Amino acid sequence: MGGLDLVRRVAVAVLAAAVCGGLSTLAPASGKVGFAAAPRPAAKPEPKPEHAPPPKPPAPKPPPDCSRVKCVALTFDDGPAESTAELLDVLAARNVRATFFLVGENVVKHPELVRREHEAGHELGDHSYTHADLGNASEKKVLDQLTRTQDAIRRASGVTPVLLRPPYGSVSKRLTRITREMGLAQVLWTVDPLDWEHRDTRYVEKRVLKAVKPGYVVLMHDIHPTSVKAVPKIIDRLAAEGYAFVTVSELYGGKLVPGKEYGQTGRPMVHRDESGAAQGLP
């Protein structure tokens, strides 16, 4: 290879790198491809005082008043799992907060995702330790399932949940009493796209968008990548319709009562008395 040839190759490589670098600096809002703006002169770094306090995070925006604004609470059950990280990116890019109902044994597997959920301003709720049918469980089992999950979430994030979503929507008088004593409100849902059954992104998008009304609680599962992929369109469409996205506690104005049930499953709910006998079934 001649020396001149080498010089040409290097020049081409440098030019290519400059073009790629230039394109990546385009403002995302412009939506057009053009030339990159000239780089601004770098600001002089402020001299750092020694022992400077860490920079304060920006104060969180006060939640909207859901008695005046169209609010919706997106909730995600059964995680965390690998696909939760992608969902957190989607929510962060849109500045949307949601509520995660966590399964204790998954919290122990992915404590870093639980911490990330909390740090991003999402609400954390209890969904039992092993996804147990709490409405049909003994007192001892219910207490064990709930306390282990509360402890795992507290260890991972520093917060103790005030919400329980009973797996399968299975509730009982016994569960009501225990959750009242433990300071947990029972949160069911008003929109269920059956995303665990239909692993189909378009189907989940359509089902949710068709059903949502102001004040609704949407149930999805962040353990299914097909559901996570439905979230951008659901958020973008609802935002265009003027919806504000809030956590479950925000939806109820921070006035949730421990033990009380919120939301409806949209199908007959199984209530069991202290003896475990089902009541209120058709």
Residue 78 touches Zn ion, criterion: CB under 5 A = yes
Q: What is the 3-state secondary structure (H, E, C) of 128-142?
A: CCCCCCHHHCCHHHH
Shortest distance (Å) from residue 105 CB to Zn ion = 12
Shortest distance (Å) from residue 214 CB to Zn ion = 25
Is 77 noted as a catalytic residue in this protein? yes
Q: Using the 8-state DSSP alphabet, how is residue 216 labeled? A: E
Name which position in 72, 73, 77, 195 contacts Zn ion (CB under 5 A): 77
When the beta carbons of 110 and 243 are compared against Zn ion, the nearer one is 110
Token duo for residue 151: 């402890």
When the beta carbons of 192 and 250 are compared against Zn ion, the nearer one is 192
When the beta carbons of 79 and 259 are compared against Zn ion, the nearer one is 79
User: What H or E segment, with its residue span, contains residue 228?
Assistant: helix 225-228
User: Which range, of 21-29, 75-83, 143-151, 254-262, touches Zn ion by CB under 5 A?
Assistant: 75-83
Name which position in 104, 167, 193, 259 contacts Zn ion (CB under 5 A): 167
Residue 80 touches Zn ion, criterion: CB under 5 A = no
Task: For Cα atoms 84, 163, 249, give the angle at the middle one, nearest 5 degrees.
Answer: 90
User: What H or E segment, with its residue span, contains residue 172?
Assistant: strand 171-172
Is 200 noted as a catalytic residue in this protein? no
Shortest distance (Å) from residue 41 CB to Zn ion = 54
Residue 250 touches Zn ion, criterion: CB under 5 A = no
User: Which residue has the closest beta carbon to Zn ion?
Assistant: 77
User: Which range, of 8-16, 78-86, 115-123, 151-159, touches Zn ion by CB under 5 A?
Assistant: 78-86
Residue 79 touches Zn ion, criterion: CB under 5 A = no
When the beta carbons of 161 and 167 are compared against Zn ion, the nearer one is 167
Please tell me the distance from the alpha carbon of residue 143 to that of residue 153, in angstroms, as a whole number.
15
User: Cis peptide leading into 80, omega within 30 of 0?
Assistant: yes
Site track 1-40 with Zn ion (rule: CB under 5 A), x = hit: ----------------------------------------
Residue 193 touches Zn ion, criterion: CB under 5 A = no
Q: What is the 3-state secondary structure (H, E, C) of 113-167?
A: HHHHHHHCCCEEEECCCCCCCHHHCCHHHHHHHHHHHHHHHHHHHCCCCCEECCH
Closest by CA to 186, choosing from 204, 163, 170, 205, is: 163
Burial class (CB in 10 A: 0-12, 13-18, 19+), 213: exposed
Number of Cβ within a 10 Å radius of residue 177: 14
User: Which range, of 40-48, 90-98, 146-154, 161-169, touches Zn ion by CB under 5 A?
Assistant: 161-169
Q: What residue ranges bind Zn ion (CB under 5 A)? A: 77-78, 167
| Active-site residue set | 77, 221
